């Protein structure tokens, strides 16, 4: 990218090139005007000095002109420094400079225009006061000043808008770059990094941290001021608060991610209230730090708001925003950098940096090898070793050929079934049809949208693998969730048929398959104990003999109609009911008092300065007393704003969490996890941090702008018609903007959800993505989503700058007409003090009205997040747990009798019935097995029994009426009881406080199923439902569990869904 392209406007919004062909001429014109203004100021200064008769006011003029020249030279110096920096440091900081150097170089140009035109304000003020007093230098001086003022304000607006536009562009580029870097890193980071960077935290890095850094990037021109302020004790304290806030936010997001990802389990055990309360405690800690951050922010505004110099008031008042953004960015950047510095994956070409304790394995091309062993023996770890997911040293691992991998836990990415099967490959209809047939998916094709998807998901994975036409197939127990007849066909047609001639490594607990394999690996305690053919192992290995011949006892595991909203009534409240009208009125009243006090202070000073009888001591005393009163009002206003924001935040979160946890399963099934996490992270963050002060500033700027209009009309009443007309025009322009801006923000929210959902999908299926070598495709897909979002953000702040430019021109028109009115009707008759006061307020009208419109637009944009939250706050609740007039008797159920009467179930309206009039009775204590092919409705029956789905017709009548945390999250049982359970399920390794990572990723599938069974054994329910509970457990462990269940639940009703018939 050469200098001409940079200067003429060729730049990148994120990763998409955006070219403005007219930018070159615009930049040259503005730069020419910039140098012309600087030259005019130099000439005026020389003429003043040559008169050698400098009055006190002339000295003031000279000082102002000198200040303008100095500021202009600083701007030119900044341009020169940017050019030198581009030349000298380009090689060392190539990545960063290629991103921002072009726009940064133009900062100096537009900043210089802004500074020079802003400096002319005091000159116009002094000269116009003389004209108003009737002491003009020439006849038409008043008209010339009016025209010059209007031109200067227009140039100031053009320069500032270009400056801010490019600032935001840098922020957008930085945010897009960091989002892409985080996604790229999570594609290659070691699995061990999950211990310190959970999926919820990674989501937070993208949705919250990267955005904060993008906002802070727009403050690049005040970096020197920021450096000084950050070293102050106040800023260090805010840094501490912000760091703790982000840590507590990570904890909450991690917990809610786990809860929402496994919401079905919570509903089955009726644990929603407990987990909601646990997350509420984390939210309380987060709210405590949020209160500290907001209070500290309020003190910053008090510190920098009340200043006596009108021309520097607004820049300094914005410093708290800049300091806050910088500190938030510093915290967020350190978190992101820590994640980006995690060690990455080793490629398959890096052979000599791996370790495994004593495993020696060689598989020839075309061999079919089975891997078997008890739960936790290391079968899945062996797969991970071959895939390079587990690092090891002092060993070599050579894998020759293309790999296809089917994980034990089915992973389906958001999208169509076809996209999941193709997985980046080109569509070949014949090959695609064969993949469906070999995976036994053809018959299930029409059932896929309606539930019972456990087996279908696994077969979609199998179809994905076979469609890739790989050389090596790693199958990690893929048949565990598939009906026995189906997996028999799959094994014959898929493994022995379609994969004949391919290298296959299959982890399995189905001993029926073993004789068909060329070789069998028996694994125990992370080592290959024996290997050989089925007959060899059966005759030589006692362990293998026991595994094959383990006893398989397969059993599957009045009445009031139980119906109420699970959502607590206390949560069914609106935001307006929680944030009382009195609190909002207090903020408005206090701010109005503050603005009125400022006007009285200025008016009193302007009048008393004209009275020679008023002593200087009295002036200082009155001014100081009013000033202290205003400071107290500022403090009170900030505290009320913080309190209002916290109340609103608590209300929104309380209603949102209740709505989510007590939503029906029909909401969770089609809703991507990333979309839900986007609501409880980025959208909620806007309500927490941004919205309170946005409301305060909007109310404040509206009051200040109208008070300025009153002062202008008080001094020159005739201008009221112009002001009313211009306000009307401004409202029309804003309405025109709002229509487009709201739609852009909605689309922005949608595209942001695409980024978050794609990230969530990638995190959950990272092993599959890496096994198929699809990292690049997923990364470029992520870039595509980032660019879609960046385009909308680009257009959003472009239309905002469009609006602000027109509002600033409207302000310039108002002030120009006021000056013209003073020249025509009040020349020689006005009080110079009042004229100066009105003109001073008029000089700030530009920035005040712009801030007023800008903050209103920001609130309108933030309302989009509120609307998105409100959608989730109004999710229809599940049906009631109990009918208030028909409570179950104490100790219900006593016998465990289940009566199903003409049960009909469909998952959504206007879809076919999944259960079509089932009627049956399970007597208390009976052991019932439920069998059927995949998609037949077995799991739907269980869902209806637990009321995860409400019947369309019919009814169900029952009886007429840490590892520790994972086993007993409600803390209802003693350690002895839990240890007794662990002995029963043969899982005594480690302690009760053994760590469990998010999603139990440090435990294999079989161990996770044992934990779930442990929870069941602890609860001692009268009715036990087992839905394929032993599908991922070896025969020996299954036999032990069956024996345990028979003993522990001898008098209970046990309903078992089982897919493997022997």
Rounded CA separation 567/665 (Å): 14
Assess whether 513 and 620 both reside in one domain: no
CA-closest candidate to residue 838, choices 1010, 723, 685: 723
Q: How far is CA 502 from CA 369, 402, 471, 495, 533, in A?
A: 11, 11, 6, 9, 18
| Cβ proximity of 637 and 299 under 8 Å | no
Rounded CA separation 334/340 (Å): 10
- SS3 call for 924: coil
Structural tokens at position 640: 């009320």
Domain that holds residue 831: 571-761+789-873
Predicted local confidence at residue 586, as pLDDT: 54
- Report the b/e string of 887-905 with b at 16+ CB within 10 A: ebeeebbebbbbbbeebeb
Rounded CA separation 685/1054 (Å): 46
Predicted local confidence at residue 560, as pLDDT: 37
Dihedral, 192, 198, 203, 204 alpha carbons, nearest 10: -120
CATH number at residue 509: 3.40.50.300
The verdict on whether omega for the bond into residue 838 sits within 30 degrees of 0, i.e. cis, is no
Indicate if the alpha-carbon torsion angle 159, 165, 167, 173 is positive or negative.
negative
Predicted local confidence at residue 464, as pLDDT: 92
Rounded CA separation 915/801 (Å): 58
| Cβ proximity of 114 and 78 under 8 Å | no
The residue among 189, 218, 238 that closes a domain is 189
- SS3 call for 927: strand
Per the domain annotation, does 259 fall within a domain?
no
Rounded CA separation 769/712 (Å): 66
Predicted local confidence at residue 309, as pLDDT: 41
Assess whether 449 and 578 both reside in one domain: no
Label residue 358 left, alpha or beta by phi (over 0 means left) and psi (-120 to 50 means alpha): left
Assess whether 6 and 136 both reside in one domain: yes
Q: How far is CA 257 from CA 89, 92, 660, 670, 753, in A?
A: 43, 40, 12, 16, 15
Burial class of residue 159, CB neighbours in 10 A (0-12, 13-18, 19+): buried
Backbone dihedral angles phi then psi of residue 369, each to the nearest 5 degrees = -120, 130
Assess whether 514 and 585 both reside in one domain: no
In this structure, how many other beta carbons lie within 10 angstroms of the beta carbon of residue 455? 28
Reported as type and span, the H/E element at residue 447 is none
Predicted local confidence at residue 778, as pLDDT: 92
Structural tokens at position 810: 């409207």
Structural tokens at position 854: 């800008």
Residue 240 makes CB contacts below 8 A (sequence gap 6+) with: none
| Cβ proximity of 729 and 810 under 8 Å | yes
Rounded CA separation 872/331 (Å): 30
Reported as type and span, the H/E element at residue 489 is helix 484-490
Assess whether 854 and 722 both reside in one domain: yes
In this structure, how many other beta carbons lie within 10 angstroms of the beta carbon of residue 851? 22
Looking up tokens 């002319």 gives 120
| Cβ proximity of 1022 and 558 under 8 Å | no
CA-closest candidate to residue 188, choices 431, 435, 23, 391: 391
Structural tokens at position 530: 């024996």
Per the domain annotation, does 659 fall within a domain?
yes
Rounded CA separation 329/331 (Å): 5
Residue 631 makes CB contacts below 8 A (sequence gap 6+) with: 302, 306
- SS3 call for 972: coil
Structural tokens at position 257: 């991610």
Q: What is the pTM of this model?
A: 0.64
Assess whether 164 and 109 both reside in one domain: yes
Structural tokens at position 206: 């993208």
- SS3 call for 992: coil
Q: What is the DSSP string of 537-569?
A: HHHH-HHHHHHHT---------B------SS-G
CATH number at residue 653: 1.20.1560.10
Per the domain annotation, does 654 fall within a domain?
yes
Residue 740 makes CB contacts below 8 A (sequence gap 6+) with: 799
Give the angle 31-33-39 at the CA atoms, nearest 5°.
Answer: 105
Q: What are the per-10-residue average pLDDT scores of the chain (1062 residues)?
A: 40 39 46 50 48 40 45 46 42 46 62 72 73 74 84 84 80 82 84 68 67 50 42 64 82 84 81 86 87 77 51 51 62 76 60 50 88 80 82 71 87 84 89 87 60 65 90 86 69 87 87 86 82 84 75 38 38 39 52 59 56 62 68 74 81 86 82 79 80 78 80 83 86 84 82 85 88 90 90 88 88 86 74 71 76 76 80 80 58 75 79 81 79 74 78 76 46 53 47 56 59 66 70 61 70 69 48
Per the domain annotation, does 629 fall within a domain?
yes
Beta strands in 335-453 (DSSP E): 368-372, 403-406
| Cβ proximity of 356 and 507 under 8 Å | no
Assess whether 525 and 423 both reside in one domain: yes
Max Cα distance, the chain (Å): 120
| Cβ proximity of 532 and 519 under 8 Å | yes
Assess whether 753 and 795 both reside in one domain: yes
The residue among 166, 189, 212 that closes a domain is 189
Looking up tokens 């060729």 gives 10
Dihedral, 512, 515, 520, 526 alpha carbons, nearest 10: 20
Rounded CA separation 171/164 (Å): 11
Predicted local confidence at residue 110, as pLDDT: 73
Assess whether 737 and 845 both reside in one domain: yes
Strand order in the sheet with 953-958: 915-922, 898-905, 953-958
CA-closest candidate to residue 2, choices 24, 31, 34, 25: 24
Q: What is the DSSP string of 874-917?
A: TPPPPPPSSBTTBPPPTT--SS--EEEEEEEE-SSTTS--SEEE
Assess whether 616 and 544 both reside in one domain: no
Per the domain annotation, does 901 fall within a domain?
no
Per the domain annotation, does 349 fall within a domain?
no
Structural tokens at position 902: 């003409």
| Cβ proximity of 935 and 452 under 8 Å | yes
Per the domain annotation, does 252 fall within a domain?
no
Per the domain annotation, does 598 fall within a domain?
yes
Assess whether 166 and 131 both reside in one domain: yes
Looking up tokens 């090596």 gives 472
Structural domain count, the chain: 4
CA-closest candidate to residue 780, choices 419, 424, 1061: 424
Q: How many residues does the chain have?
A: 1062
Assess whether 715 and 598 both reside in one domain: yes
Rounded to an integer, what is the distance from CA 287 to the centroid of its chain?
18
| Cβ proximity of 170 and 217 under 8 Å | yes
Dihedral, 135, 140, 143, 146 alpha carbons, nearest 10: -50
Structural tokens at position 401: 């050929």
The β-bridge partners of 405 are 474
The residue among 189, 204, 237 that closes a domain is 189
């Amino acid at each position: 990218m050469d200098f001409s392209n940079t200067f003429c406007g060729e730049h990148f919004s994120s990763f998409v090139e955006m070219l403005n062909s007219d930018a070159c001429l615009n930049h040259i014109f503005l730069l020419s005007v910039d140098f012309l203004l600087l030259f005019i100021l130099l000439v005026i200064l020389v003429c003043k000095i040559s008169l050698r008769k400098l009055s006190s006011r002339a000295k003031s003029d000279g000082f102002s002109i000198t200040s303008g020249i100095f500021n202009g030279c600083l701007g030119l110096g900044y341009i020169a420094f940017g050019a030198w920096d581009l030349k000298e440091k380009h090689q060392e900081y190539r990545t960063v400079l290629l991103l921002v150097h072009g726009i940064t170089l133009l900062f100096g140009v537009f900043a210089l225009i802004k500074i020079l035109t802003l400096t002319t304000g005091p000159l116009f003020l002094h000269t116009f006061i003389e004209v108003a007093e009737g002491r003009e230098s020439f006849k038409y001086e008043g008209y010339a000043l009016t025209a010059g003022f209007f031109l200067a304000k227009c140039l100031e607006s053009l320069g500032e808008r270009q400056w801010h536009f490019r600032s935001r562009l840098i922020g957008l580029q930085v945010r897009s770059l960091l989002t892409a870097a985080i996604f790229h890193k999570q594609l290659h980071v070691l699995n061990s990094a999950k211990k310190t960077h959970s999926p919820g935290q990674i989501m937070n890095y993208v949705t919250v941290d990267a955005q904060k850094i993008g906002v802070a990037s727009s403050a690049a021109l005040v970096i020197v001021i920021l450096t000084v302020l950050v070293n102050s004790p106040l800023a260090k304290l805010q840094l501490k608060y912000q760091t703790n806030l982000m840590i507590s936010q990570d904890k909450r997001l991690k917990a809610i991610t786990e809860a929402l990802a496994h919401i079905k389990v919570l509903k089955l055990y009726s644990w929603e209230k407990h987990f909601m309360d646990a997350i509420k405690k984390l939210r309380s800690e987060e709210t405590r730090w949020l209160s500290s951050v907001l209070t500290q922010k309020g003190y910053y505004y008090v510190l920098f708001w009340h200043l006596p110099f009108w021309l520097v008031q607004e820049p300094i008042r914005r410093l708290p925003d800049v300091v806050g953004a910088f500190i938030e960015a510093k915290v967020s950047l350190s978190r992101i950098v820590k994640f980006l510095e995690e060690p990455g994956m080793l490629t398959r070409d890096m052979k000599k940096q791996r370790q495994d304790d004593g495993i020696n394995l060689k598989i020839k091309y075309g061999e079919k090898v089975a891997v078997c062993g008890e739960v936790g023996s290391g079968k899945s770890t062996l797969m991970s070793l071959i895939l390079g997911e587990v690092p090891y040293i002092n060993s070599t691992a050579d894998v020759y050929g293309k790999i296809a991998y089917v994980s034990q836990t089915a992973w389906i990415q958001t999208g169509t079934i076809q996209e999941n099967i193709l997985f980046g490959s080109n569509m070949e209809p014949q090959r695609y049809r064969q993949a469906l047939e070999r995976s036994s998916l053809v018959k299930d094709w029409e059932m896929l949208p309606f539930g019972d998807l456990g087996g279908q998901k696994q077969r979609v994975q199998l179809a994905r693998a076979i469609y890739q036409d790989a050389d090596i197939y790693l199958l990690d127990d893929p048949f565990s969730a598939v009906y026995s007849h189906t997996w028999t066909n799959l094994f014959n047609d898929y493994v022995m048929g379609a994969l004949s001639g391919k290298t296959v490594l299959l982890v399995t607990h189905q001993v029926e398959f073993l004789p068909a394999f060329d070789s069998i690996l028996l694994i125990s305690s992370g080592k290959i104990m024996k290997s050989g053919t089925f007959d060899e192992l059966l005759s030589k290995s006692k362990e293998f003999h026991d595994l094959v011949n383990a006893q398989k006892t397969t059993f599957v595991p009045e009445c009031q109609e139980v119906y109420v909203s699970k959502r607590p009534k206390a949560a069914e409240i609106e935001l307006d009911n929680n944030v009382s009208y009195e609190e909002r009125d207090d903020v408005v009243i206090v701010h109005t008092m503050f603005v009125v006090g400022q006007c009285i202070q200025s008016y009193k000073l302007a009048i008393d300065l004209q009275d020679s009888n008023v002593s200087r001591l009295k002036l200082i005393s009155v001014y100081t007393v009013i000033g202290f009163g205003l400071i107290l009002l500022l403090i009170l206003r900030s505290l009320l704003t913080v309190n209002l924001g916290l109340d609103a935040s608590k209300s929104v979160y309380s209603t949102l969490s209740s709505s989510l946890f007590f939503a029906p399963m029909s909401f969770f099934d089609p809703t991507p996890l990333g979309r839900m996490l986007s609501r409880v992270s980025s959208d909620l963050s806007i309500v927490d941090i941004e919205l309170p002060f946005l409301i305060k500033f909007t109310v404040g700027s509206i009051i200040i702008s109208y008070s300025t209009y009153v002062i202008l009309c008080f001094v020159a009443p005739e201008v009221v018609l112009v002001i009313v007309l211009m306000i009307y025009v401004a409202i029309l322009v804003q309405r025109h903007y709002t229509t487009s801006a709201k739609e852009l923000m909605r689309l922005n929210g949608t595209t942001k959800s695409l980024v978050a959902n794609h990230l969530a999908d990638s995190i959950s299926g990272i092993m599959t993505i890496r096994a198929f070598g699809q990292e690049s495709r997923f990364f470029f897909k992520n870039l595509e989503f980032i660019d879609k979002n960046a385009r909308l953000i680009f257009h959003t702040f472009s239309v905002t700058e469009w609006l602000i430019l027109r509002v600033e021109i409207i302000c310039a028109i108002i002030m120009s007409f006021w000056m013209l009115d003073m020249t025509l009707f009040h020349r020689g008759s006005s009080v110079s003090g009042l004229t100066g006061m009105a003109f001073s307020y008029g000089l700030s009208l530009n920035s005040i009205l712009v801030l007023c419109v800008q903050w209103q637009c920001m609130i309108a944009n933030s309302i989009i997040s509120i609307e998105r939250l409100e959608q989730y706050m109004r999710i229809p609740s599940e049906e009631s747990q109990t009918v208030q007039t028909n409570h179950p008797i104490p100790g219900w159920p006593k016998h465990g009798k289940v009566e199903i009467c003409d049960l009909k179930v469909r998952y959504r309206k206007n879809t076919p019935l999944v259960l079509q009039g089932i009627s049956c009775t399970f007597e208390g204590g009976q052991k019932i097995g439920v069998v059927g092919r995949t998609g037949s409705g077995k799991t739907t029956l269980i869902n209806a029994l637990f009321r995860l789905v409400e019947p369309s017709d019919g009814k169900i009548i029952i009886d007429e009426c840490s590892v520790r945390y994972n086993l007993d999250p409600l803390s209802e049982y003693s350690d002895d009881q839990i240890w007794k359970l662990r002995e029963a399920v043969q899982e005594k390794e480690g302690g009760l406080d053994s760590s469990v990572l998010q999603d139990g990723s440090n435990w294999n599938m079989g161990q996770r199923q044992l934990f779930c069974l442990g929870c069941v054994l602890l609860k001692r329910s009268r009715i036990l439902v087992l839905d394929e509970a032993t599908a991922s457990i070896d025969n020996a462990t299954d036999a032990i569990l069956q024996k345990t269940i028979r003993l522990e639940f001898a008098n209970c009703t046990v309903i078992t869904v089982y897919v493997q018939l022997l």
